[in-house]
Amino acid sequence: MITIAWDVDDVLNDLMRSWLVRGWVPKHPGCILSFEQITQNTPERILNCTREEYQESLDNFRLSGEYLDLEPDRQLLSWFKQYGHQVRHIALTAVPLKAAHISAGWVMNNFGQWIRSFNFIPSLREGEQVPEYDLTKADYLKRAGNIDILVEDSPVNIAQAQVVGIKGLLLKKPWNKSNLTLKDALTEINGLIARK
* In a shared domain, residues 112 and 57: no
Task: Name the residue among 139, 132, 133 with its Cα closest to residue 160.
Answer: 139
pLDDT at res. 127: 83
* In a shared domain, residues 189 and 130: yes
Low-confidence ranges of the chain (pLDDT < 70): none
Domain count, the chain: 2
* In a shared domain, residues 148 and 98: yes
pLDDT at res. 85: 97
pLDDT at res. 126: 85
Domain C-terminal end among 51, 68, 85: 68
Domain C-terminal end among 68, 85, 102: 68
pLDDT at res. 128: 84
Q: What's the pTM?
A: 0.95
* In a shared domain, residues 78 and 140: yes
* In a shared domain, residues 35 and 92: no
* One-letter amino acid of 35: F
* In a shared domain, residues 111 and 179: yes
What domain range is 43 assigned to? 16-68
* In a shared domain, residues 58 and 131: no
Buried b (16+ CB within 10 A) or exposed e, 130-139: eeeebeebbe
* In a shared domain, residues 117 and 170: yes
* In a shared domain, residues 157 and 79: yes
* In a shared domain, residues 32 and 111: no
